[in-house]
Amino acid sequence: MSEAVINSVGQSALPGVVAGTWVIDPAHSNVGFSVRHLMSRVRGRFTEFAGEITIADTPEQSRATVTIELASVDTGNDMRDNHLRTKDFFDTEQTPKMTFTTTGVRPAGDSWVLSGDLTIRDVTKPVEIELEFLGVDPTGLQGEQRVGFDGRTSITRSDFGVSFGVATEGSKVIMGDKVDIHLEIEAALSE
């Protein structure tokens, strides 16, 4: 494996990162979201998820896959979380998982953009995630190499068939249609 991933002009695109498969560490990562609710925002996260990032010698050839257990939603309010698990929102009995699979990677200034397919409630839509490279720790927590990224994107939940509480013409906003997604990812190099 190369000692650094190099971009097409020969500069280190991800300094210190070796090509290979990196497994997302859920204990040191966060998959969060926020959405407007009446006059404020509700923030939440998913506590159960797994994924792999395959970093190629050429970063644009890299790929990632993530699976999120929708029933693990946590907004800090049991009644709201239980409602989010129903058919009004995630319908976790019928569609227990949300998935993301990359379809492309490209540089964007000092950041990267992951293009991919997001599937919620058996509806798949293209999304783009802006990704900031946070660095690499060559010795990690227990001697393994670790890499970190922050990511963000927004989706329209009604595009995925989740329209409960979306304002209709002339009605007040109960719950926003736009959902901001925030990712804090730490991954360890797989042996």
What CATH number does the domain containing 151 carry? 2.40.128.110
- For residue 173, the model assigns a pLDDT of 67
**Which pLDDT tens digit goes with each residue over 97-145?**
999 999 999 999 889 999 999 999 999 999 999 999 999 998 877 788 9
73 contacts 181 by C-beta, under 8 angstroms: no
Residue 162 CB partners (closer than 8 Å, separation 6+): 88, 89, 90, 120, 121
The two tokens of residue 59 are 């970063």
State the Cα–Cα distance between residues 135 and 129, nearest whole angstrom: 18
112 CB contacts (<8 Å, ≥6 apart)?
59, 105, 106, 130, 131, 132, 133
Confidence of residue 4 (pLDDT cuts 50, 70, 90): very low
Alpha-carbon span 45 to 72, nearest angstrom: 8
Domain span at residue 179? Answer: 5-189
Question: Backbone phi, then psi, for 113, in 5-degree steps?
Answer: -120, 125
What letter would DSSP give residue 60?
G
Chain-wide mean pLDDT for the chain? 90
CB burial class (10 A; 0-12, 13-18, 19+) of residue 66?
Answer: buried
**Both tokens assigned to 121:** 């409630």
Residue corresponding to tokens 């990196």: 22
Neighbours of 114 (CB within 10 A): 24
Q: What are 53-100's pLDDT values in tens digits? A: 999 988 899 999 999 999 999 999 999 999 999 999 999 999 999 999
Q: pTM value?
A: 0.89
As for how many domains the chain has, the answer is: 1
Interatomic CA distance for residues 29 and 181, integer angstroms:
13
% of residues, the chain, pLDDT over 90? 74
Judge contact between 105 and 129, C-beta under 8 A: no
What average pLDDT does range 163-181 have in this prediction? 80
Please name every residue paired with 22 in a beta bridge, in sequence order, or none if there are none.
53, 189
Q: How far apart are CA 147 and CA 4, in angstroms?
A: 12
Per-residue pLDDT, 2: 41
Q: φ and ψ at 108, to 5 degrees?
A: -145, 85
- Sheet strands (E) in 85-190: 97-108, 111-120, 123-137, 146-156, 175-189
pLDDT over 80 at 32, yes or no: yes
What mean pLDDT is predicted for residues 177-182? Answer: 96
